[in-house]
Structure 1
Amino acid sequence: MSIEQYDRDGGGPPQAEHWSEGPVTTPERDPFYVAPDGFERAACGDVLRTRPVRIGVFGRVRQRVQAWQLLYRTEDLERVPRVSVTTVLLPAGALPDATRPLLSYQCAIDAVSGRSFPSYALRLGSRARGTVPQYEFLLVLHALRLGWAVSIPDHEGAEGHWGAPLEPGYCTLDAVRAALSFDELGLDTTTPVGLWGYSGGGLASSWAAEAAGEYAPEIDVVGAVLGSPVGDPASAFFRLNATRYAALPTLVIEGLRRTYPALDVVMQEFVTEEGLELLASTNKMTTMQAIIALRGFDLDAYSTIPIADVMARPEMVTIFEEIQPGRSAPGFPLLVLQATHDQIIAVDDVDGQVTRYRDAGAEVEYVRDRTSEHITLLPLSVPLTLRWLDDRFAGRRPGPAATRTVVSVAASWRSAAGYLAMAGSAARALTGLPISVRRTRR
């Protein structure tokens, strides 16, 4: 039911608001992000507020694309009503078209600060140095040149619940619902939808894929690409603590404290005041800022008992079991990509996620890359990813649900042609030329 229907029936939430774009402020200070009175009575995915926005590469180079932001109703892990924002895009000059597919791209937000949310980081004039979505946009925009509509949700929700299970999936799927109902895109419930994310975005996409069948069965999700999707967050925590990437598990702990009161109680009991202050300091950091500031950070040094003993407590074991993806089988094909020499996400952890999916009955094509590492695999895998999604949008069956370990996903003529096309799209973005349809692939 739309929010307008509630209003016609009487006593419901107000009609969806349409805002003119104003100064670029962080989500914490931007009234656009504030839930309107009565939003709880709206349905999941109902659009509560909209505005056109200007997109800027690194906040500086204006992008000639059509872009809007939608505030919509969603739910948290406990199914309590919440709101979030998605940024929806069309190619320059494109008209609304129900035959156009929708790509939902989940960024690697990997932070709890609103400055890292794509709805802020992608806007012209934003000050979001060190956020991952600003780099990812240079890759994702090529989907616009294929003629697709794109939704980029703030999948952590307005509260920044980084690391939470299932909730990023609810948030992502409700963003898809919002996009499908948004008139300016011209989409409808028959629109084929693809999910894609890498690293933290791959984890969010995993939860969306797992939740889709039960939470949003009306959405025609035709496939999901999970790039380096973490596999086992608990394993990553112990492996990355006290390393150059120690900020990543630290950020997860800070995000999970917002989701699980039991975790916050444990942290308050066993982490020193200085350690709690360091955890809290990440609330204003972007991902790269945190990685630099917390390089080598060892939570053991700020714990009154060994951190392994803290994490072995029953309530902590329960949380780490809940945040491990791969417990259910999505009802559509999956493509999982992982570098065997990944310095951040262990290949064994992703192997385990794929095994759990297959054991549950999922159809998974798994490609392991021997040459890449965590940073390089995302750009190198874009041509393969877009081809795979394009085939799913066209209704073609995927290849065998097998595991392939390749020298490099880049080692093909088709990938080389894809890199040339991507370079052209990136050049247009960096010079402010229109991001228009290059050609339609069917």
Structure 2
Amino acid sequence: MAPTVARLPHLFLSVLAVVTLAAAAVFAGAGGASAAPVPAFYQPPADVPATPGSILRSEPSPLAFSIPAGGGAFPATGTRIMYASTDVTGAPIAVTGTYFEPAIAWAKPGPRPIISMAVGTHGQGDQCAPSRLFNSVIQYGGGLDVMVQYEIAAIYAAVAQGIPVVVTDYQGLGTPSVHGYLNRVGQANAVLDAARAAIDLKSLPDNTPVGMWGYSQGGGAVAGAAELQAQYAPELNVRGTYAGAPPVDPLKTLALAEGGILTGAVGYALNGVYADYPEARPELDRVLNNAGKSLLRETANQCVPETLARYAFQRTSVWTSSGRPLGEVATASPVLKRIFDQQRIGTLTPEAPILIVASNSDDVVPWSSSREVAREWCGRGATVQFTTFPLPQILPGTAASHGIPEFFGIPTALGWMIDRFTQVPQSRCVIA
């Protein structure tokens, strides 16, 4: 498959991690990022409306890669938004994001659609929020606190077809609450409510065709949204979902990532569990040693490159009181096992078609888990296309084999999504 964009997002992060690991000696005296004051836009109102998807506020968001054109910008005009969503308990919360209005018109058959996009792992610090990065692409806060907005290629590929895109920041990224990393319900709600918010913002017809798109963490978020849509947002006219390398089973993902470049991201997940599930707090306090508790404190304010630089290639056993890997510890704990099982995607069935793409050599998200969920959904009558992205092992443990398909898969995913918007017939179940 020929490349159409001149960069490899996750591979870039892998290279960046090696560079920052080498630079760590220089910055050895520099502490991790600390929580900065929350900008006024990101401060939620005292009372968040109970209507999910309603716009709470918006403002222009000048995009780094755009030029003024005809009263707007090319290739898109950005609007920063805050909208109402719900957390894992069903309580109203405020979530931020960005809406991209294309400079060109939708020229395909049928009404103009929108895509609700969920990003891959950015980190847990508020400075990592996608909506903050679209204005500069690179965020630097001193020391190892750096972040690159690597989702621009997919967004601009869509707006180049005249498709508006709305990108959620997820719960707790940008806003003061804790980001529930890999939380199935919280992430899914944020994606579905972003679509509602885009419709509200632009006063679009209620039956506007909606697509959902995400890779890695984003793939899990949209896969969760696909199976929760019928009960959470049944009014949305979802035509299809593209879920690339979705971490559908957090415990299996943790086991595969053990000792790899993204091991430190377990801190994001545990911080989310600690915040969202009060019953887990005594258990986490018991099973984590001082180093593990330090991991949680430090990663809470980090973007992913700093987490890579500080925690890459470590074993999770160094963070547990028992000296056993965290996956084993969580499986042995009834409280933690129940919570992690609740994050497993595949317990419900998507009503709209879904495309899952996964690399057979993925060293972060298990290919077998993605394929298993595709088979389960097919068996329950869903319309599913599962495509294996063939790759040899490339620098095992560095996430290269995980990240490369995100970049190279954009043309295929976008073509598939446009077919769903234009209602091209699709085979009900294709596993390849």
Q: TM-score range by the shorter chain?
A: 0.7 to 0.9
Q: Flag as ranges the 4+ runs of structure 1 deviating above 4 A.
A: none
State the secondary structure of the residue aligned to 2:406.
Answer: helix
Q: For structure 1, which segment, 30-39 or 141-150, has the greater mean C-alpha deviation from structure 2 after superposition?
A: 30-39
Q: How does 1:14-25 map to 2 (within 5 A)?
A: none
Cα contact 1:52–1:68 (8 A) shared by 2: yes
1:92-137 residue CA offsets vs partner (Å, 9 max, x unmatched):
3669xx93210111101352111222111212386257546x1111
| 1:108 and 2:126 aligned | no
Equivalent AA in structure 1 for residue 85 of structure 2: T
Matched to 1:140, the amino acid is I
User: Which among 268, 274, 285 is matched to residue 257 of structure 1?
Assistant: 274
Deviation for aligned residue 1:384: 0.8
CA distance in structure 2 between the aligned counterparts of 1:365 and 1:274, rounded to whole angstroms: 43
**Are the equivalent residues in 1 in contact too, given 2:382–2:428 (CA < 8 A)?**
no
3-state SS of the aligned residue for 2:419? helix
**1:318 aligns to what?**
338
SS in 2 for 1:402: strand
Q: CA, structure 1 residues 391+125, in 2 after alignment: closer, same or farther (shift >3 Å)?
A: closer
Segment drifting more, 26-35 vs 282-291: 26-35
Shift in alpha-carbon separation, 1:90–1:401, aligned structure 2, 3 A: same
Deviation at 1:248, TM superposition (A): 2.6
Residues 39, 312 of structure 1: CA spacing in aligned structure 2 closer, same or farther, 3 A cutoff?
Answer: same
Deviations 1:254-280 (A, max 9, x none): 222222223332121121223201221
Superposition deviation, residue 230 in structure 1? 1.3
Higher relative contact order (CA 8 A, sep 6+): 2
The structural deviation recorded for 1:201 is 0.3
User: CA 1:57/1:161 → structure 2, altered by over 3 Å: closer, same or farther?
Assistant: farther
Please point out which of 188, 202, 208 is paired with 1:191: 208
2:74·2:103 contact (CA, 8 Å) conserved in 1?
no
- Do the aligned residues in 1 keep the contact of 2:330 with 2:336 (CA within 8 Å)? yes
Specify whether residues 189 and 136 from structure 1 end up closer, same or farther in structure 2 by C-alpha distance, changes over 3 A only. Answer: same
Kindly provide the amino acid, as one letter, of the partner of residue 389 in structure 1: M
Instruction: Note closer, same or farther for the CA distance 1:346–1:38 as it changes in structure 2 (3 Å cut).
Output: closer
* CA distance in 1: counterparts of 2:330 and 2:162, whole angstroms: 50
Q: TM-score, normalised by structure 1?
A: 0.79
User: Which of 35, 38, 47 pairs up with 1:29?
Assistant: 38
Match of 2:366 in 1: 346
Aligned length: 371
Question: Is the contact between residue 27 and residue 120 of structure 1 (CA under 8 Å) also seen in structure 2?
Answer: no
Indicate which of 391, 395, 401 corresponds to 2:429: 401
Q: Which residues of 2 match residues 279-298 of structure 1 at below 5 A?
A: 279-298=296-315
Q: 2:189 aligns with which of 170, 173, 176?
A: 170
In structure 2, list runs of 5 or more residues that go unmatched: 1-34, 67-72, 393-400
**Cα distance, 1:310 vs. partner?**
4.8
Name the residue aligned to 2:405: 377
Change (3 A) 1:332 1:284: same
Match of 2:32 in 1: none
Provide structure 1 residue ranges, at least 5 long, that are not aligned to the other structure.
1-25, 405-442
Change (3 A) 1:248 1:389: same
* Deviation larger for 355-364 or 137-146: 355-364
Query: CA 1:131/1:350 → structure 2, altered by over 3 Å: closer, same or farther?
Result: farther
Contact 1:169 1:207 (8 Å CA) reproduced? yes
- Please name the residue that 1:229 is paired with: 246
- Give, as a single letter, the amino acid of the residue that structure 2 aligns with 1:52: P
Determine if contact 2:104/2:160 at 8 Å carries over to the other structure. no
Q: In 2, Cα distance between the equivalents of 1:310 and 1:330? A: 28
CA RMSD after TM alignment: 2.4
The sequence identity of aligned pairs, in percent, is 23
Aligned residue type for 2:422: A
Contact 2:95 2:190 in 1 (8 A): yes
Q: 1:246 to 1:82 in 2, by over 3 A?
A: same
